A and B are shown apart, each in its own frame.
Chain A
């Protein structure tokens, strides 16, 4: 009897109930399990960046261990040539490796979305100036620009993050601009104009929500690029100058003399960078398939 009632009650989604965001997320997670795992990994990486330094087992500059110890239960990632625990150093460095990328994305989004929506919707002089600005930004090789910027404004966390954010702005602006042009001539915009909404209100309340999908997609794709650029810069010794919270690229470069003696000093920082980027790239792909199927497989 009980089973009979259950079978009747089972139809999982009653047709009239509006889909909650939770069920949407779960459905997509089931359809793309790899993407879902990557999403969870990305969330973990954000936690690592924020709390890594506080929960690390040892201090980043604790030198009380045996030097160049191979990975073991006590030191899962081994120790480096200065007798420091690599796992702890990776955790302490997470903020300067990943946090820089997160702030850079924020910079790129704020500037790129503002410029993209305004130049796409308003057109005219603003569009012209914006596209010239993009041309100027695109004329610098990414890493060269960041090195130049950081030389001028100092190797601080915020200047590295702003520099990386600036090189990502052209990409964001272009995509947001073309998405804006796509929605600009639709009827709901016309309706908003006809009831007398101001351009500012239309851009904020009508255009922005409708270009949100490409914005989210481009952000998740750019995080990977930002992490790689930060790693390259700090590998060159031009990243955030902090001995206590070394970024992963710098860690790899600092251990140069011990690469051949102890393979893990070379593998650990590089693998940390790569796995973070892989997680964000796969998650970005999954997000794109879900939110913006037209872009599937591009890049």
Chain B
């Protein structure tokens, strides 16, 4: 197990290197004059420009720029923001709580909604409730999360004059206020994920319920609840867990949109802000940070297979 984790982490290194080269190289292609962006005005003298470029290290060759950036990244230093000169690492640290909270809460909520629906739908295959739930889930799947979020903001406001409190409160400072700010975006984000998961749980359960060991479990007189939870669901979870891993990428993307909609100070709003101000060190740092998180999540998903399937051995 330990060796497997180490091997997976080592395999992630070349992927991350290519990711970082693409991010770094991509930013160098950008049209637009760095000096103008930094000084925020169109008329810049060559002398000013030269000073800024040497400050930012832009006068050196691209390859050496890359390695000095990479060297910093490896020590946890993503460089400094172009607009406010703050360290990108500390900005990301400040902002990541919202994103992590939103992502974790909505995946938990999505799983809680999806599993019962999927199992129930599978048990009632092709009967009324199943057909109904399949249509409901395909509808959920098709609604953009930001539109659901919009309606969750507007309708309570029209009907009851309700609005979530502002400004943002940190969870550790005021947990209740924080949760009141977070529950609407959580629901909006969880809805489409839960639809995807419910549909997959259904089809995966259908497959498992036809297996011999389920028939054996029933034949030896086990309670139906035990058959479903211990024998069927546990085996049906493997593809579902894989899908959760894949969907987390979309989920992190989804937080970007919902944070903007609900004006939450997370990594998503930070990304949109830095794109608008063309703050390239910040954009680089953020995209790389997202990539690292996703790669780690995927490794964790692979490891979790062992939880559901004891036959899985890591070698």
Cβ of A197 within 8 Å of any chain B Cβ, yes or no, is: no
- Please tell me if the beta carbons of A281 and B144 are within 8 angstroms of each other in the complex: no
- Please tell me if the beta carbons of A147 and B271 are within 8 angstroms of each other in the complex: yes
- Please tell me if the beta carbons of A151 and B30 are within 8 angstroms of each other in the complex: yes
Tell me which of A140, A252, A266, A269 contacts B290 (CB under 8 A): A140
- Please tell me if the beta carbons of B199 and A143 are within 8 angstroms of each other in the complex: no
Known: A141-B249, A141-B290, A151-B30. A259 touches B150 (CB 8 A): yes
- Please tell me if the beta carbons of A136 and B254 are within 8 angstroms of each other in the complex: no
Total interface residues on A, CB under 8 Å, equals 47
Residues from chain A with a CB closer than 8 A to the CB of B290 are 140-141, 144
- Please tell me if the beta carbons of B271 and A235 are within 8 angstroms of each other in the complex: no
* Distance between A271 CB and nearest chain B CB, rounded to angstroms: 8
Cβ of B151 within 8 Å of any chain A Cβ, yes or no, is: yes
Cβ of A90 within 8 Å of any chain B Cβ, yes or no, is: no
Q: Name the residue of chain B whose CB is nearest to the CB of A229.
A: B253
A297 to B31, CA, bound (A): 46
Chain B: interface secondary structure?
helix
Cβ of B142 within 8 Å of any chain A Cβ, yes or no, is: yes
- Please tell me if the beta carbons of A266 and B154 are within 8 angstroms of each other in the complex: yes
A272 to B206, CA, bound (A): 34
Cβ of A205 within 8 Å of any chain B Cβ, yes or no, is: no
- Please tell me if the beta carbons of A298 and B200 are within 8 angstroms of each other in the complex: yes
Chain A: interface secondary structure?
helix
Total interface residues on B, CB under 8 Å, equals 56
Cβ of B18 within 8 Å of any chain A Cβ, yes or no, is: yes
Known: A236-B257, A273-B147. A148 touches B23 (CB 8 A): yes
Known: A138-B249, A139-B15, A235-B146. A259 touches B291 (CB 8 A): no
Known: A142-B250, A142-B253, A143-B253. A270 touches B143 (CB 8 A): yes
> What would 11 more interface pairs be, CB under 8 Å, given A141-B256, A298-B199?
A136-B19, A142-B250, A143-B256, A144-B256, A147-B271, A147-B272, A154-B31, A224-B141, A249-B146, A278-B139, A281-B138
Q: Which residues on B are within 8 Å of A, measured CB to CB?
A: 14-16, 18-19, 22-23, 26-27, 29-31, 138-139, 141-147, 150-151, 153-154, 157-158, 196, 199-200, 202-203, 206, 246, 249-250, 252-254, 256-257, 260-261, 271-272, 275-276, 278, 283, 286-287, 290-291, 294-295, 298
In the A-B complex, the 10 residue pairs with the smallest Cβ-Cβ separation, listed nearest first, are: A143-B253, A297-B203, A270-B147, A277-B142, A141-B253, A278-B142, A139-B291, A141-B252, A142-B253, A274-B143
